[in-house]
Amino acid sequence: MNIFILGLRVLSESSTDDDKLEVLLTESLPSNDRKIPTKVQLKQDSEHYVGKLMKGCKENDQILAVGPTRPTPDGHLLMQPMLIVTNQNWSDILAINAFIATGGLGPKSDEVELGDSTVTNRSIAWQTNEGESETCWFKLTAWGELSKQLSDLQPGTPCIAVGKVSTSEKDDKKYLNYNLDKVLYLPRNKVAPKKAADPDAKKVAANAIGSLDFKF
């Protein structure tokens, strides 16, 4: 995974580029006087909730930023923030709703057409480390393009699932829902390696780990 949580100081007010992305230049808050601050450029859609928050940031404001990040050739970081927290919206950090789960996919499940989209429900399993190893399962829900990806992958494929948790109720029973925002799997290969599909393999293969992609 490639998610950074950074305390930052705003260097200048944000601007809007030709692609209607809000751009905010910041630097990391050093842990001591000997540390060299890292320049971090935040980019987000101007109409996105976070993009609107970026517009309100002033020079020397201190903020917390969370999001997928990648390096640039000039030695800076580029982040697409999923969340920024300022003095005005500090309570937003209490509303974070995200899960990151790693494990192997269960039996294949077909896509189902629902309205104008498609949906796939499929289980993922991981091993607990408490006492005797135990296999835990929960069911992922993916829509649209993610639905096809989840349906096509072979059983046993090691994956990293990223999404949000919600609760639904039906016939007086409550159900937990794990709705996917992203699924990361073995690159350029939809066939699981033997060790990943082996029930005795108690961890995800190292080459299953990838990075969250930027939208731009």
Cα–Cα distances (Å) from 153 to 55, 141, 146, 156, in that order, read 41, 14, 11, 9
Q: What whole-number distance in Å separates Cα of residue 84 and Cα of residue 202?
A: 36
Q: What whole-number distance in Å separates Cα of residue 202 and Cα of residue 143?
A: 29
DSSP string, 67-97: EEEEE-TTS-EEE--SEEE-TTSGGGGGG--
Residue 10: per-residue pLDDT? 96
pLDDT for 124-141, tens place per residue? 887 766 556 677 788 899
pLDDT for 43-76, tens place per residue? 999 999 899 999 999 999 999 998 888 888 888 8
Per the prediction, the chain carries an average pLDDT of 81
pTM for the whole structure: 0.58
Phi, psi of 208 (to 5 degrees): -85, -10
